Chain A
Amino acid sequence: MPPHIVVAPMLVALGTILAVLGLRSARAAQRAVSVLGGAVYAAVVGLLTWRVMLSPAEPTPLVYQIGGWPAPFGITLVADALAVFMLVIAAVVTLSAVAFSVRFIDEQNQRVFYHPLFHCLLLGVTGAFLTGDLFNLFVWFEVMLMASYVFVAFYGEAPHTAAAFRYLVLNVIGSAVMLLAIGGLYATTGTLNMADMSRRLAAPAAYGVDVAPVVGLSALLFVTFALKAGLVPFQFWVPAAYRSAPLPIAAMLAGVTKKVGVYAVVRLYFVVFAGASLPTEFGPISGNSPLAFLAPVLFAMGAASIVVGGFGAIGQSRLDGVFAYSSVGQVGFIVLPVSFAAAAQSASFRRLALAAALVYALHHALTKSLLFLSTAAVRGAAGTTNISRLGGLAAFSPALGGVFLIGCVSIIGVPPLTGFFGKFLVFETAAARYAAAPGLVPATAIATLLAGALFTLLYASRAWVRGFWGEQTEAVATATLDRGQLSILAALALVVLAVGVGFDPVYEFAEAAAEAALDRSAYVDAVAPRGGGGQ
C-alpha cells in the first residue's frame, strides 16, 4: 500500500463536504451521504491504523511528501502511532455524532450548512493530527476553528451570539500568538518542518541554531494549545461555548477538538523541542530541555483545571452545563500525567505516564460524547435539560437510563468500563512518581486527583439521581423518545463497555502511541529531512 493513504482521511472529509453541499436540495440523500462520509472516514482511519500498527511489512510511521517535494521544502503528512491513535478517537466520536445529528437537529437547519460544516470541523482536526509542519498546524487549527465558531453561534439567539463572539475574539488572539511563535521559531531554527526542527535543535552547533529563544517561543505556542484544550486559566470560554453549540457538536468539541490541543502539546514538546539541550537551574525548575519548564506549568494548570472544573460542574443547574464544566476538570486528568512525563527522568516512566494520558484522552472522548449525546436525547424527548425539571427518566425509558448510567459510571471510574482504566493509570502514575521521589509535588498530585475523583462522583451521581430517579415531572411525563437516537446511544455505550472489557489491545495501542511520541529519532528518520548543512 503506497504512503499516499496518509492523505485519505482528509480527502474523505473534503469529498463529503463537497457532496453534502451539492446535495442540499435532496435532503434525505444529503443526510445519508453525510453519515456515509463519517463511516468511510472511520473505515479509512481503520485502514491507516492497520497499516501503521499491524501491517505484516514492518509497521512504521507513514510519511507522504505532498507533490513529491522532499522535507523540509514541501508539506509533509505524517501518520505515526500517536497521530493514528488520535485519529481513531476522532473517527469514533465523529461517526456517532454525525449519525445522532441526523436524528436530532431539525430539518431546516440540517439542510443549509450543518453537514458541510460538520465535515469541515473534521477536516481541520484530521489535518492538525496528520501534519508534519508547524505552519500547516496553524492553518488546520484555523479550519477547525472557523467551523466551530459557526457552530457556537448556530442557534443565533442572544446568548449564543455572545458566546460565539467571545470564543472568536479569544481564538483570534490565540492565533496571533501562535503566529508570533511560529515566526520566531522559523527565524531561530530556519525551518518549519517539525522533524527538521527537532533535528536542528538536537544538534544546535552543527546548524548554527540558538536554543535559548526556543524556550520562550515554545511557551508562547503552549499558551495557544492550552487555550484550545481549555486548561485553567484559559477555561472561561468553555462552558458558554459548549452550552451554546448544538449538543452533538458539543460532543465533538469536548471529545475531539480539545484533544487537538493536548495532541499538539505532546507532539511539539516531546518530539520537536525535547531534543534541545539547555541546562537550567531556576527555582524548582531544573533539567536540560524545554520540557523542564513545561512540567511545573502543566502541573499547576492541570491541577487547577481539576479543581475549577469539579467545583463548576457541581454548581450547574443544567445537564449540559454539568458536562461542559466536567470537561474542564477531565482535561486536567489528561494533562497531569503529561506533566509527570515531562518531568520524568527514566524513559520507562515517561512512557507509562504518556500512555496513561492517552488512555484517559480516549476514555474522556468516548464517555463525554456518550453523556453529551444522552443529554441531547433527553432534550429531544423532554424539551429541557434543566435538572430540577427532570426526574424519573429511568422509569420513563429504562434504555435511556441504562445508557446514561453507563456514561456516569464510566466517568466516575468503575470497572470494567473505560473510565476505570483511565483513572487507574493516572493514579498509578502519580503513585509511582511518589514512590520514586516522595515530596510535596506528587503528594499534591495525588490529593488533587482524589479530590477530582470525588467531584466527579458527586456531579455524576447528582445528575443521575436527580434526573433519572424519583417522581416523573411534567416535562418527562409528556416526553417522547426517538428510537433512532437511542440505538446510536446504545451502540456508543457498547463501545465504552467493550474498550473497558477488552482493554489489553487498547493499552498496547496507547503504549505504542506514547512510544512514538518519545522516539524522536524514529520520527526524524521517517520524515528524513534533507539539506541544511551539518550531519
Chain B
Amino acid sequence: MSLALATVVGGLFALGTFLLLRRDLVRVVWGVAVLSQAANVYLISMGGVAEGSFTQVPILATHGGEVPETADPVVQALVLTAIVISLGTTALALVLSYRAYEENETVDVQRWR
C-alpha cells in the first residue's frame, strides 16, 4: 500500500514538474494542476489507513455493516480545503493564460514580449 502510494505521489510530482517546464502555456497550467493534486494525494497518504472498528464511527455503527479499517478524517478535511484552493488557482491560471494569449497571440512562453 505505502509503496503504491509513494509511486503514485512520486510519479505525479515528476509529471507535474515535467509539464511546468514546457514552453506551451496550457501545459504549464496542466503542470500546476497535477502538482497541486500530487500534494493532495501525499496529504491523504499522511493520514494513514489504521486498524479500527466501525463502532467508532457513529453513522457506521447504526447504519453500516462491517468496515474493516478507518482512516484519519482530519487529513480528508484538509485535502477538501486544499482541493478547493487548487481549483481556484487553476481556474485563475487558465484565465491568465487566455489573457496572455490575447496579448501576445501565442501560448509559447519564450515568444512573450
> Are B46 and A187 closer than 8 Å at their CB atoms?
yes
Identify which of residues 422-464 in chain A touch chain B, using a CB-to-CB cut-off of 8 Å. Answer: none
Query: Is A524 on the interface with B (CB-CB < 8 A)?
Result: no
Bound complex: CA A192 to CA B46 (Å): 13
Complex contacts, B104 vs chain A, CB 8 Å: 158
Bound complex: CA A379 to CA B89 (Å): 32
> Are A183 and B75 closer than 8 Å at their CB atoms?
yes
Q: Which residue of A lies closest to B103 (CB)?
A: A158
What is the size category of the interface that chain B forms with chain A? 20 to 34
Bound complex: CA A172 to CA B40 (Å): 13
Query: Is A175 on the interface with B (CB-CB < 8 A)?
Result: yes
Question: Of A24-32, A53-61, A149-157, A389-397, which stretch is located at the interface?
Answer: A149-157
Question: Of B51-59, B62-70, B94-102, which stretch is located at the interface?
Answer: B94-102
CB distance from A74 to the nearest CB of B (A): 12
> Are A142 and B28 closer than 8 Å at their CB atoms?
no
CB distance from A244 to the nearest CB of B (A): 12
Complex contacts, A164 vs chain B, CB 8 Å: 96
Known: A142-B85, A158-B103, A173-B20. A179 touches B39 (CB 8 A): yes
> Are B28 and A169 closer than 8 Å at their CB atoms?
yes
Bound complex: CA A149 to CA B93 (Å): 9
Known: A168-B89, A176-B36. A186 touches B103 (CB 8 A): no
Bound complex: CA A192 to CA B74 (Å): 10
Known: A186-B46, A187-B48. A168 touches B96 (CB 8 A): yes
Identify which of residues 162-189 in chain A touch chain B, using a CB-to-CB cut-off of 8 Å. Answer: 162, 164-165, 168-169, 172-173, 175-177, 179-180, 182-184, 186-187
CB distance from A323 to the nearest CB of B (A): 24
Query: Is B43 on the interface with A (CB-CB < 8 A)?
Result: yes
Complex contacts, B14 vs chain A, CB 8 Å: none
Q: Which residue of B lies closest to A156 (CB)?
A: B99
Bound complex: CA A147 to CA B110 (Å): 27
Bound complex: CA A135 to CA B46 (Å): 14
Complex contacts, B48 vs chain A, CB 8 Å: 187
Query: Is A161 on the interface with B (CB-CB < 8 A)?
Result: yes
Bound complex: CA A169 to CA B75 (Å): 25
Complex contacts, A168 vs chain B, CB 8 Å: 32, 89, 92-93, 96
B-to-A contact residues, CB < 8 Å: 20, 25, 28, 31-32, 35-36, 38-40, 42-43, 46-48, 74-75, 78, 81-82, 85-86, 88-89, 92-93, 96-97, 99-100, 103-104, 112-113
Q: 13 more A-B contacts (CB under 8 A) besides A168-B93, A180-B39?
A: A135-B81, A139-B85, A142-B89, A165-B93, A165-B97, A168-B32, A168-B96, A169-B28, A169-B32, A172-B93, A179-B40, A180-B43, A182-B43
Closest 7 A/B residue pairs (Cβ) = A158-B103, A183-B46, A176-B39, A179-B39, A183-B43, A187-B46, A161-B100
- List 29 interface pairs A-B (beta carbons < 8 Å), by A numbering: A142-B85, A142-B89, A146-B89, A149-B96, A153-B96, A153-B99, A156-B99, A156-B103, A158-B104, A161-B100, A162-B100, A165-B25, A165-B96, A165-B100, A168-B32, A168-B93, A169-B32, A172-B35, A172-B86, A172-B89, A172-B93, A175-B36, A179-B42, A179-B82, A186-B46, A187-B46, A187-B47, A187-B48, A192-B74
